[in-house]
Amino acid sequence: MEVLCIGALGRWTCAALSVAGLALPPAGPALAGAWTRTAGEGLAIVTAARRVAPITSLAGGPIDADANVTQVYVEYGLVEGLTAGAKLYVELSASDLETSSASLGGFLRKRIWQDGHGGVASVQGGYAHPVESVIGQGLELADPGAAPEAHFAGLYGRGWEGNWGNAFVSTGAGYHWRSEGLADEIRGEITGGYAPSRRWMGIVSLYGLYPLAAGTDVSLKIAPSIAYSFASDAESDTDDDTEARHARKVQLGISYDLLNGGDGLGVSLSVWQPF
């Protein structure tokens, strides 16, 4: 594992920071965490999510707007300190097809600093392109706001471990260039997590989006979640605990825009599979 990915803390942070907030469109995974993956190891995450507005429609009330999200995310350690990743994102609305979208993108994350005591900093660049026409018929009227975009971000994270459990915090900010005359965006994230044991972890994320044009909405989403690992409860005497590092994990979370409550409430379920 990486120098900073020690014990249970590393097993959780290196995975959790890659998935926190994956199902939170549109400000949703602005960043993927500062940690890079070990060379030759990867992580695949499949997420299904649903967002409805108003919130009361979750209990069977009338729906003003909805979104059904499917996302497949993969990242892989190319060499020491360099991680590559790809993401397929599909959002479909039963109430308004013009809000549906699909995109395929990739990124590179390069670690530029670490202190050997839980701190790490990285830079990340990536590109995403709309693929509605490739997905299939029925998306011809998809979201006209979907356009090619590129991003560059700076990331910082720190982790702690002790007899009380393990914890981490990750922050970052990125500039998103959007083509076709759409407003560029500044996106930021802060995510914190606490694992009282190697099976359970609680995660809370804040995702901010600031469009660089008048007349567009600023967004600030909060996303609490809980994750469970199928790893054995047995402790390892070494950092190279293959069974724990490759254990499947599930994450259940919700998301809510603190500035735009009319967007409704999102519920997501993710399955992580390291390889």
List pLDDT tens digits, range 61-92: 778 888 889 999 999 999 999 999 999 998 88
Which residue has better confidence, 29 or 229? 229
pLDDT at 139 exceeding the cut of 80: no
| Distance (Å, whole) CA 115 – CA 107 | 24
Q: Kindly calculate the radius of gyration of the chain based on its CA atoms and give it in whole angstroms.
A: 18
What DSSP state is assigned to residue 37?
A: P
Please say whether the beta carbons of 20 and 205 come within 8 A.
yes
| Distance (Å, whole) CA 51 – CA 53 | 7
The amino acid present at 242, given as its one-letter code, is T
Instruction: Please give the pLDDT value at position 236.
Output: 54
Which residue has better confidence, 241 or 90? 90
Instruction: Please give the pLDDT value at position 209.
Output: 94
pLDDT at 57 exceeding the cut of 60: yes
pLDDT at 29 exceeding the cut of 80: no
Give me the mean pLDDT over the 27-52 stretch.
Answer: 81
pLDDT at 123 exceeding the cut of 70: yes
| Distance (Å, whole) CA 81 – CA 122 | 9
Residues 6+ apart with CB under 8 A from 20: 29, 33, 170, 191, 193, 203, 205, 223, 225
Instruction: Please give the pLDDT value at position 269.
Output: 95
Instruction: Please give the pLDDT value at position 264.
Output: 87
Instruction: Please give the pLDDT value at position 18.
Output: 43
**DSSP 3-state assignment of 242?**
helix
| Omega prior to 130 cis, within 30 of 0 | no
Instruction: Please give the pLDDT value at position 250.
Output: 96
| Distance (Å, whole) CA 70 – CA 22 | 10
**Residue 248 burial (CB count, 10 A):** 12
Instruction: Report CA-CA distances (Å) from 62 to 65, 126, 129, 255.
Output: 9, 39, 33, 20
Nearest CA to 15 out of 46, 47, 39, 42 is that of 42
| Distance (Å, whole) CA 106 – CA 268 | 22
Instruction: Please give the pLDDT value at position 147.
Output: 83
Average model confidence (pLDDT) across the chain:
82
Length of the chain: 275
pLDDT at 4 exceeding the cut of 50: no
Burial class (CB in 10 A: 0-12, 13-18, 19+), 137: exposed
User: Which tens digits make up the pLDDT trace of 13-22?
Assistant: 444 444 444 3
| Distance (Å, whole) CA 43 – CA 274 | 4
- Residue corresponding to tokens 């995975």: 15
